[in-house]
Amino acid sequence: MIEKVFNFAEVTGEKNIEKIINDGNAMINHFVLPKGEGLPKHYSNSNVYMIVTKGILSIGLDEQEITKYDSGAILSIPYNVFMNVRNEDEETLELFVIKSPSPENYKEV
């Protein structure tokens, strides 16, 4: 078999943060955030791509006001940006976060 298959958890409405892939080329995480939940505020440690698959993402970047993105939105966030990721809405938020290259191999250009 050439391909390798990765699975991620079903959305249950409970907070869930899981690392799916981290192979040096990329890191792929799966986040499920119920209303009022979020990630710790932090700086992006690579090039970050956020894919919203369910709900509404509320995110503040650096000094910008919180902006909301609906399901289907894909955000590209550069390295070293301060991020405040939250779910401020009723529907459970599900998103995938792709970091490329994987933070362990990231070198600022």
User: What are the structural domain ranges in the chain?
Assistant: 26-99
Of residues 102 and 31, more confidently modeled:
31
CA distances from 25 to 42, 90, 98, 100, 102 (A): 22, 35, 10, 6, 6
Average confidence score pLDDT of the chain: 94
Answer whether 62's CB lies under 8 Å from 81's CB.
yes
pLDDT tens string 84-108: 999 999 999 999 999 988 887 766 6
Domain boundaries 26-99, CATH class: mainly beta
pLDDT tens string 32-77: 999 999 999 999 999 999 999 999 999 999 999 999 999 999 999 9
Indicate whether 109 pLDDT > 80. no
pLDDT tens string 14-27: 999 999 999 888 99
**Residue 105: per-residue pLDDT:** 76
Cα–Cα distance measured from residue 56 to residue 27, given in angstroms and rounded to the nearest whole number: 22
Which H, E and C letters describe 45-95, residue by residue?
A: CCEEEEEEEECEEEEEECCCCCEEEECCCEEEECCCCEEEEECCCCCCEEE
Q: Does the model's pTM come out above 0.75? A: yes
Locate 75 and state its tokens: 């955000």
